[in-house]
Chains A and B, each alone.
Chain A
């Protein structure tokens, strides 16, 4: 006699108390803390470091821009990884920020994306190796990139050829969230037209951006994702300096013709990006990295290993 769980759901006669599992999990997780790895990709001078510092409301990373005349221009793309733990209401977040200075800064930028793709894949690779070890750690340290912020220069025209090449390659291995950097140099009209163009180009090249559609999404999730997809790419402005506006202290930029309030939704979309990354999709970004990108990498690797093994066996015989 098989019981169909959907149609005959038993009614509990009294309170059991297993609903507390959520707080049991929470307690465990709070002790362990969370890990979030974010990478920034874009030409120097687009405000990458400033944006990260603005999102997490603290000076986490320094700009890697060239400021001294005797500093040589970078000839290759470097990967700089920086970890800092931030705490909010008892919740520990171990933040790993991966900067990519040198990207797009040379006269000849051919293949400048290769070190970046390699780094992302290396993290998957290292995780896989640790997983497959016979005596493995209980909790494998997760260095896989959960989110890649891609910075688009506010030209107001369209994506550059290099942007398209790199976006295609990045979206295959990591969750990519594109932003329009320094968007305070675009009027609202220019911003709308620019976004529209970018979306058209991304659609034309079949570039798959996060968030992805999932069967698990309920109506609410789907609606939220749709509104996010509408906004992307986020037109942002970053600032670590504070200004007083109407008696309130906000982060902003002061010009001779006005004050830009980073936290004002009419000025830019920083708030939307911040909420998206930290308040609504933080957990999903981490999970999708594991369930989609890592899985895809893993299965390719294991299949390749298997084929390799079979070939070697055949050679022996």
Chain B
């Protein structure tokens, strides 16, 4: 199950674009390090070790957006990364899902209310999240309950791309088995993730190949690293272990490079379009139908929805026209009043003059 594919258009937007990415996963899976590795800068400050007295305190999830300006081969990207520290860290994590869902729907609500304004704000900032990277722990087994729950609950509102955090703790064999099991689990639970959709009949060979390759990498194996080490005289971003160095930018070691390219170059457009044309539209329809008549039959189908929406629009436009009419009337009256006053003044002036003569 996946969202419908937009007809192939990999526009290279030269003038720059905006993209919002959310990152979700339990602490210690490399989420924050990934953000910094992606942006090649310390966007999210390293978590300062709090006092040992703080470890048992359950702080709950926080939603923290950070915006960076990136330059990808001359293309300017305004990237907003939304971090979610605290997810899955409490003893009871039921509340986490609602927090994230609430944030995503809030952005949709903002757009919705902006759209329905008579006078729209030209500089309104679209904060909708275009993709969610969900960090799975490298257990080597299959998905955990919290993984399934999160992806199920959030997939109607956002493109989810599952990734494996700290994937360097798995051997290549273990990683391949794990990826296979995770995808089987996702299919079994009918979770609609973003799986680089393509149409073998409509799309060209290149697109088909590219997308099927990316699809086969799911969930992306990630390693994060901000430090540089020297390997055979080269300076690379990597993690130094006693038994060797794991290189972040080496496609043999992890899928970081491929994911980065997909997010910031090849597939951001698709992700944005699906967010706007499909996910947001669904939300809008659901929300508006809920707010009109909640007792109405759910089976009334899309046609009734449509006509009801049209009706609303007419009412609004009617209202607008009436406003304008009223205003014109008022102004007319005012002007007439002015004229009458001036006439009176003129008449009295003339009367005076006659008197004088």
Contacts and interface: CB of A to CB of B under 8 A. Distances in A.
Interface stretch (B138-146, B286-294, B329-337, B346-354): B138-146
A254 B171 contact: yes
A115 B50 CA distance: 32
**In terms of DSSP, what is the predominant structure of the interface of chain A?**
loop
Contacts of B56: 159, 161, 164-165, 201, 205
A266 interface: yes
Of the candidates B55, B140, B169, the one having the most CB atoms from chain A within 10 angstroms of its own CB is B55
Interface string B180-214: 01001101110000000000000000000000000
B94 A197 contact: no
Nearest to A203: B52
**In terms of DSSP, what is the predominant structure of the interface of chain B?**
loop
A159 B91 contact: no
A69 B185 contact: yes
Contacts of B140: 45, 65
Interface string A154-184: 1111111110110000000000000000101
A259 B52 contact: no
Nearest to B47: A157
Given A67-B181, A107-B146, A258-B243, A159 B94 contact: no
Contacts of B55: 158-161, 164, 197, 201, 204
Nearest to B174: A253
B144 A105 contact: yes
A155 B139 CA distance: 13
Given A157-B47, A165-B56, A184-B169, A257 B247 contact: yes
Contacts of B171: 253-255
A267 interface: yes
Contact of B141 (A45, A161, A256): A45
Given A157-B47, A187-B239, A65 B139 contact: yes
Nearest to B26: A155
Contacts of A260: 241, 243
Interface string A109-149: 11000000000000000000000000000000000000000
A110 B172 CA distance: 36
B71 interface: no
B89 interface: yes
Interface in B61-76: none
Interface string B143-173: 1111011000000000000000010110110
Interface string B229-269: 00000000001111111110000110000000000000000
Interface residues of B, number: 52
B144 A44 contact: yes
A175 B57 CA distance: 25
Of the candidates A110, A154, A182, A188, the one having the most CB atoms from chain B within 10 angstroms of its own CB is A182
A303 B68 CA distance: 66
A58 B344 CA distance: 114
A257 B142 contact: no
Nearest to B183: A69
Of the candidates A155, A255, A261, the one having the most CB atoms from chain B within 10 angstroms of its own CB is A255
Interface residues of A, number: 54
A67 B140 CA distance: 9
Contact of A109 (B49, B57, B92, B169): B92
B139 A160 contact: no
Contacts of A164: 55-56
Interface string A6-43: 00000000000000000000000000000000000000
Contacts, number: 145
A232 B47 CA distance: 24
B294 to A, nearest CB: 29
B82 interface: no
Contact of B242 (A46, A66, A267): A267
Contact of B184 (A69, A107, A159, A205): A69
Interface in A37-92: 44-46, 63, 65-71, 73
Contacts of B143: 66
A204 B146 contact: no
A187 B240 contact: yes
A200 interface: yes
B62 to A, nearest CB: 15
Given A109-B92, A153-B28, A66 B141 contact: yes
B137 interface: yes
A67 B145 contact: no
Contacts of B187: 69
B297 interface: no
A108 interface: yes
Given A201-B55, A257-B246, A70 B166 contact: no
Contact of B28 (A156, A184, A255): A156
B345 interface: no
Interface string B82-106: 0000000111111000000000000
B58 interface: yes
Nearest to B93: A107
Contacts of B2: none
Given A65-B139, A257-B247, A110 B27 contact: no
Nearest to B225: A187
Interface in A227-272: 253-261, 264, 266-267
B144 A110 contact: no
B53 interface: yes
Contacts of A46: 139
B142 A66 contact: yes
Nearest to A109: B91
B85 to A, nearest CB: 10
Given A108-B92, A165-B56, A73 B141 contact: no
A164 B148 CA distance: 26
A107 B139 contact: no
22 contacts: A45-B137, A45-B144, A66-B141, A69-B185, A73-B144, A105-B144, A107-B94, A109-B91, A110-B91, A154-B166, A154-B169, A155-B28, A162-B91, A164-B56, A165-B56, A165-B91, A182-B169, A185-B138, A188-B241, A201-B52, A201-B56, A257-B253
| In the complex, the 4 A-B pairs of residues with the closest C-beta atoms, listed nearest first | A155-B28, A45-B139, A258-B244, A65-B141
